[in-house]
Structure formats: structure tokens, C-alpha cells
Amino acid sequence: MKAAVVALGTVLAASVAMAGPDGTLNPGDTFPPWSMVDHTGLTVTSQELAGKTYLLWYYPKAMTSGCTAEGCALRDSYTEFVRQGVTVLGVSFDSPEKNSEFVRENGFPFRLLSDRDKSLAIAVGAADSAKRLFARRISYLVGGDGKVLKAYPQVDPSVHARQVLDDLGVLAQAK
């Protein structure tokens, strides 16, 4: 177990070392392994998503206007994400209970995860320290091989869903 923790720390350190000047990862970088609790209390891990493409979108705070707008746009485009084989996961520093309320109020069909210790947020540029109160609005499209396909370091909630779907189209054409 101790060796696994050391290995995880090494992977996180390597990912941070590759991060851009703003702390974000770049396309081609390995996304750090993670484990978080979702809005239902179940643990979700990056290992479970191996072989699948996923969008991990950090949002500052559940139930706020910008986060609601972004979540609703992703919800409204959810069928298209599923059609393209993309799992959508929202992440904040909110408790699972607060995220559960956010899901119920807005009918989100995707899971919302709680990065309570902020470790992944720090590793991927959504926070610069564990003292940060709210996550930066940042997203990553991660491929089935665990590599970053596209980084979104400055997200506009009103256009983000469309932007990601357009990028998925471009990535599909490039294959």
C-alpha cells in the first residue's frame, strides 16, 4: 500500500511538472489518477474510466448562476456527448450533499464529484493551494488512454458545452 501511495505521488508530481505556467495540463499530458465521491455518496475513480473518454469540468460553487448555466448547457447537450462516447463529470469543492441538491434542482444526468481535499484541483490547475475556497472554472477532455485531449483553462459557461462538442468533432476528423 505504501508503494502505491508513493507511486501516486510520483505520478502527480510528474503531472504538475508538465503543467503550463498557469498550472494547467496540456494536450498529450497524462491526467493524474484520482478518486472522489459523487453526489450519491459513491466513489468514482479514474481507473473505472480507463478506455473511455471523459470531460471533467471544475465549477466554483453549486447553485450559483454561472455554474448553473454551465451545468444546464452540458445537460442540454448530454445526448450528444453520450452519442460521441464521452462521460461528463462535474467537480467542485462542495459536499456530496450540496452537489446532490444541485443535481436534483437542475435535472443533471451526469455525476457531480466532490474534490474536498482539493488534491486533484491543485494537480490540474483548478486551485493553487488547499486554502482556495472555490475551484477555478476549468475543464479537461481526457482520452481513453488517460492523456489530455484538450484543456480549457478559461471557460465561458454560456458556450463551453458547444465548444467541447465542436472540439470532439475536430478530434474525430483528425483520426
Complete DSSP assignment for 55-117 = EEEE-S-TTSHHHHHHHHHHHHTHHHHHHTTEEEEEEESS-HHHHHHHHHHHT--SEEEE-TT
What are the beta bridge partners of residue 47?
Answer: none
The answer to whether residues 53 and 20 touch, using CB atoms and an 8 Å cutoff, is no
| φ, ψ (nearest 5 deg) of residue 29 | -70, 150
The answer for residues whose C-beta is within 8 angstroms of residue 87's C-beta and 6 or more apart is 49, 52, 53, 54, 55, 81, 110
Pairwise CA distance, residues 37 & 97, whole Å: 11
Identify the active-site residue in 49, 56, 62, 67: 67
Asked about 67 being catalytic, the answer comes back as yes
Catalytic residues: 67
